[in-house]
Amino acid sequence: MTTIRTRLPWFCALLALVALTIGPAFAAGAAVKGPSEVLFIAQILALMIVGRLLGEAMLRMGQPAVMGQLIAGLLLGPSLFGLVLPELQLHLFPKNPEQKAMIDAISQFGILLLLLLTGMETDLKLVRQTGHASVFASLMGIVIPFGCGVALGEMLPDDMLPDPEKRLITSLFLGTALSIASVKIVAMVVREMNFMRRVVGQIILASAIIDDSVGWIIVSIIFSLALHGEVDAWSLAQSVVGTFLFMVVSLTVGRRAVFFIIRWVNDNFVSEFAVITAILIIMGSMALITHLIGVHTVLGAFVAGILIGESPILTRHIEEQLRGLITAFFAPVFFGIAGLSADLTILADPKVALLTLGLILIASIGKFSGAFIGAELGGLTRSEGFALACGMNARGSTEVIIATVGLSMGALNQNLFTMIVAMAVITTMAMPPTLRWALARIPMRKEEKQRLEREEQEEKGFVSNLERLLIAVDDSPNGKFASRVAGMLAGTHGMPTTVLHIKDAAKIEDKKLEDKDSPAKDPKLDVKASDKKADSHKSEKAEDDKPATKYEKPAKDKEHEKKAGKAGDTVKEAAELIKSKQNQEEKTDTPVQVTTIVHDAPGPDVIAAEAEKGYDLMIIGLEKTSHRGRDFHESVTSLA
């Protein structure tokens, strides 16, 4: 009784908000013929409101919010709303192509953004750390259910296929849909259970990452085969070679290009959210490249996300802004539309219901057994292998995206799409409780306990929260020492570092005295390096569109530049030393980017302009650090 009273306000609020949304939508649908922007807004509002409320309810029940958004689409579609009030449902979501095209455009762009976010959350370093255990678990967890899905597709009756002559394309899509796990859902439960840094937790996440990466490559290749209309050796070779070349170029030249673009935009643009715009342009460009080579745009968006997520200049602030845009708007709209496209009323047909049940059983048994066998081959214990198999069975958002792509390209029909969506919902909602139960029964290893205690102590320090360093040094022993200290700090987390090499620190004091004698001082120049993180200052200066403080670059001095290069080399050497020790323990390989700037005697304006780029810590290493053995020297004070 208490539960009913507690949840009653939620249901009342849901009904009231839906009624407020549907009322204007009904009026718009009745009054306007053809595409209507008013109806479009009403559709967006309905999907966002119901999706957000049901997502909140799912979270409170220990389920992922994305399932609530998908269920919201199911409720607003023909499965419930269209069954109870068919005319009203058709007024809100009419089937005329012009109106559908408006919201479908948001959905299609939402797919790219969701793949971008998935790629940004893909930690390839984690795969390297876990070694062969995650590779075995993932590959076996893909091969077995993929084979089962292809076999199921070959046995389906002709009336269940969109085109019986292209049965193999449909079979390949079914195999892919059954074999891929959802990284987001797995990560949610592993994080909730505090297993993110446990060995089994990392292997589960790494296996899901490999699943996702391989899955999007397979989807792109199948899309290419579908465009050719048949599966032959030449079209298959084109797809595989094109995908291989794209991946190789992206992960080598493309990685450096993406790092450069993000850093250059962050350091040179003063407009708001410039880095966000650059990220979206990178995503769109790579999606177009994959389209041009004949594979699906989702691969380009996913790989773009991987490269952007690895960028050392990408701060938590920027990532949170982008994540907020995607999860607040595009995710509920996309998953809501996916739910609208599914019609669960077809399950009233015993034949379809039986096929759906068989699909769920084949997907679950195939994935569970494949992952468990892979865990055994990878050297995990039985309890760890059982937990890994439970975690890999969640399909979640990944399966819905794959099914949507298959429906749009004609590889799946409406019935198969609905069956895959039902399978995704059931396996995803069954996974969290089973994985929690399995993880709770895994004892902690001795070496795990020691490593976790050490990492907990390290997280309490300030170093783990640093993202970018600025050091101001001269050619003195103090400057060399400061460079080594900065390199050691940068090497721990691969932090990009800028070396501001000062030729004559004594002139800084003279410049400060000149500034004191000047009639007015610009308060904007009094900026702490730690006050801003990359791009965050731009959102706080919305009312001030004036460009950042400019300063003239000093004339080139080859000797000075040579000394600055030596300081940069010192930072790199110290960073590489720290990295080499980490590589032995954790197999990490995070590059440290070092930029050198030379200046004769930088004043507060130079430091302020550099600080605008976003730094967390400034290290000063000058020859004269103290004045009469007590106070800081004027040159140090001026820079600080």
Q: What percent of the chain has pLDDT over 90?
A: 5
CA atoms within 13 A on the CB side of 13: 12
DSSP code of residue 600: S
DSSP-derived pairing of the beta strands 631-632 and 626-627: antiparallel
CA atoms within 13 A on the CB side of 82: 20
**Does the pLDDT value for residue 23 go beyond 60?**
no
- For the segment 24-33, what is each residue's pLDDT rounded down to a tens digit? 555 544 444 5
pLDDT of residue 538: 42
**Does the pLDDT value for residue 530 go beyond 50?**
no
284: confidence class by pLDDT, cuts 50, 70, 90: very high
pLDDT of residue 87: 85
pLDDT of residue 229: 64
522: confidence class by pLDDT, cuts 50, 70, 90: very low
The string of DSSP codes covering 608-627 is: HHHHTT--SEEEEE-S--EE
539: confidence class by pLDDT, cuts 50, 70, 90: very low
**Does the pLDDT value for residue 186 go beyond 60?**
yes
The stretch 273-290 carries a mean pLDDT of 92
- For the segment 93-110, what is each residue's pLDDT rounded down to a tens digit? 888 888 888 888 888 888
**Does the pLDDT value for residue 307 go beyond 70?**
yes
pLDDT of residue 423: 87
Q: Ramachandran region of residue 614, left (φ > 0), alpha (ψ -120 to 50) or beta? A: left
pLDDT of residue 544: 41
Q: What percent of the chain has pLDDT over 70?
A: 75
pLDDT of residue 525: 41
pLDDT of residue 283: 94
- For the segment 39-82, what is each residue's pLDDT rounded down to a tens digit? 889 889 999 999 999 988 888 887 878 888 888 988 998 888 88
Q: Tokens 């009419």 belong to which residue? A: 94
Which one of 266-270, 369-373, 496-500, 623-627 scores highest in mean pLDDT?
A: 369-373
Q: Average per-residue pLDDT in the chain?
A: 76
- Cα–chain-centroid distance for residue 243? 21
Give the orientation angle of helix 382-391 with respect to helix 414-439, to 10 degrees: 150
DSSP code of residue 499: E
Cα dihedral 436, 439, 441, 443 sign: negative
501: confidence class by pLDDT, cuts 50, 70, 90: confident
| 129-133, 363-367, 604-608: segment of lowest average pLDDT | 129-133
pLDDT of residue 451: 66
pLDDT of residue 279: 93
Tokens (6 digits) for 38? 């008013």
Tokens (6 digits) for 111? 């797919």
Q: Give the chain's end-to-end CA distance (angstroms, integer).
A: 63
What gap in Å lies between CA 16 and CA 81, rounded to an integer?
Answer: 15
**Does the pLDDT value for residue 275 go beyond 80?**
yes
* Beta bridge mates, 499: 471, 596
pLDDT of residue 285: 94
What gap in Å lies between CA 599 and CA 567, rounded to an integer?
Answer: 13
Higher pLDDT, 252 or 186: 252
- For the segment 433-469, what is each residue's pLDDT rounded down to a tens digit? 888 888 888 877 777 677 667 666 666 666 666 778 8
**Does the pLDDT value for residue 533 go beyond 60?**
no
What structural domains and CATH numbers belong to the chain? 96-440 (1.20.1530.20), 466-515+522-537+550-639 (3.40.50.620)
Instruction: Give the pTM.
Output: 0.70
The stretch 165-186 carries a mean pLDDT of 81
Higher pLDDT, 389 or 131: 389
Tokens (6 digits) for 606? 């130079």
- For the segment 73-94, what is each residue's pLDDT rounded down to a tens digit? 889 988 888 888 888 888 888 8
